[in-house]
Structure 1
Amino acid sequence: MLPEHWPRWVPILISIFLALLAIGLGLVLEPAAQALRPQPTPTPTLPAIPYARPLSGECEKCHFSREALLASGADPARVDEVLIDPASLWTPHGRLGCVTCHGGKGQVADKDQAHEGLIQDLTDQYPQDCLICHRNLPAEFPEDRLRTPHGAIVDAVWEGSPCAVHCSDCHGQVGHGFDPVTGRTICSMSVCLDCHRERNVPGLTDCITCHIGPHDVAATLDCQTCHTSTERWDQVALRVHPVPLVGKHAAIGCFECHQWPNFRGLDYVCSDCHKRPHTFGNDNCALCHTPEGWKSSAEALVAAATGVPHPVAGREDCRACHGVTGGTPIPEDHKGRTNDTCLVCHAEAPAATAEHPFPQDHDGAAGNCVLCHPGNDFSAYNCETCHAPSGMAEVHAARGISEIANRCTLCHPQGEKP
């Protein structure tokens, strides 16, 4: 509070004084505050591109004409390398004019003077000029499943570091109408690989360096496992596969069996794709069928199967006699087959229904055919499986009987002792 006896104009003077004091302090302290404040790094200003199309007239007169190039002394064997299609003038880079990228003197008719200061490849000698327009280059093109080395190249350009790859290596002579990256010019991957290997560029010889594969199988496979061509992705010939791709399997596409895009969902058994149309057997289709064809492979088995030489009635348990071991074991390629599959191929032979001349349960034989017919040879019989020849010879010799080989049934027609 001000004293009551002060005039009313005194507060006004005090206010003016304080305002001037604040302004003075600000003017004094502002430079010091600016000096202490962190200074931002200035953003470099990119130079402007000189539009030199009007200055490139003499370049066009010579390089648009084969005859003019030859007349100027160009090497006939390499004249096509410097011959330019006039239509390239209407491309985005062609509109800039020759001198914009190549330097030189585009209004001088004399060849030597015109080529003074010539820049053969701007992307090699002055790559920073490309970045004047081409900023924020994409690292990937997901719609084309492609990766690019843009990041490494741009970093090397701004840092002034050497870089083994230049813009023109992939984009070609863009000002001359060639640009394989746009899609108008098809350039196979073999061209890329040849260039990468020729330059020995580290890390650029693997497919995944540039290609974003649709399959999440990188932990177990690489591109070359399936894709054998660098011209077409759909040319596939597997070097490794859990199931041999032969017969009918060789004629189908990968994703007719596998789930797109990661090849999951299979146990590599027939039942993954095929439903068993019959009730006998099991889901191990390969026991009877081959990839050559379901019907043809089964018919071949039936045609090759031998007939059953004995009545089947009451003997449906085939494996009771024809087990893995025994007198007539099942063949190696029949292991795993079940009883109900035997008669699908093996039918009763006509002779099996005829009356057997000898008791099949003789002396505990219990219908085991091979005891009397070794090797399933039913054209003859052999008693020596159970009756040792030496013992039988002594018994018969004591009775004055000789020449007993293969004559047992003459005296023992029912297997009984006389």
Structure 2
Amino acid sequence: MKLPKLPFWAWPLSGIVVALGVYGILWLPRFVTSGAEYCLSCHGTGDTANVGQASLVHPSYSQVGCTSCHAKPGQPIYVEGYRGGYSANPKEVSARCQSCHKDILDKAPSEFKFNVMDIEIPHRFHVETVGAQCTDCHRNVAHDLRPEPTNRPTMGSCSSCHSIGGTATAGSAPVSGGNSCLKCHSQGVPSASFFLAAPPAEPLKALPAQASGAAAPRPAGPPAIPHSVEGRAQCLLCHGQGGLKPVPADHSDRAESVCQLCHQQASN
């Protein structure tokens, strides 16, 4: 085969074109499999859980996508066995959390992006001493599949360790942090209205031009505990693990002794 006669400058240019073509072919799998649409081709169909619901507390999926949490930066997710480059391992996901929340172990609890709910959680102690992973408490920050999602840690996550008999710790060992609710919920328990007023959400299945309209604005911050804590230190008498117990219409000026008129401990 006789090669065509080309100007001298055409040969380097041809090499560049060929190299770019090879590069494009090699990176094509990453381009077609790293987007949210590819993930949703399985998740949300058939028997798989629909994880395409936009988070109420996280940036929209146009800013924080599936690979932001489930893949290392620049690592492709290949078609050949989606596990290639993908990980839902709590340790791997927690590392991705801290790539954005870089100072979570150092910043004050009230700092933006660290604890907007004003709950006093010693993150450094939980991560470095207890060995907890971010997903132990924040597993539903993006995928809250409950009927009424909040995308925030639930009391069930806390009480799995901080309750009598709780054993669901990272190291499978008893905790010494106790089960006093006021150690964390000193003055920042939000009301239900805080969760119901969701920020504008961009549906994962929609293109940017199809994003949904703005919802009701979220309050600037959580309200304080709507009653004094004097005489009411036993929070779990009313706020049980199975949800809130029925609350009277007039719940003001009710001391702990009044609550116990109805909510009595089971007799031995």
TM range (shorter): 0.3 to 0.5
Q: Which has the larger radius of gyration?
A: 1
TM-score normalised by structure 2 residue count: 0.43
Structure having the larger proportion of residues in helix: 1
Q: Which has the higher contact order (CA 8 A, sep 6+)?
A: 2
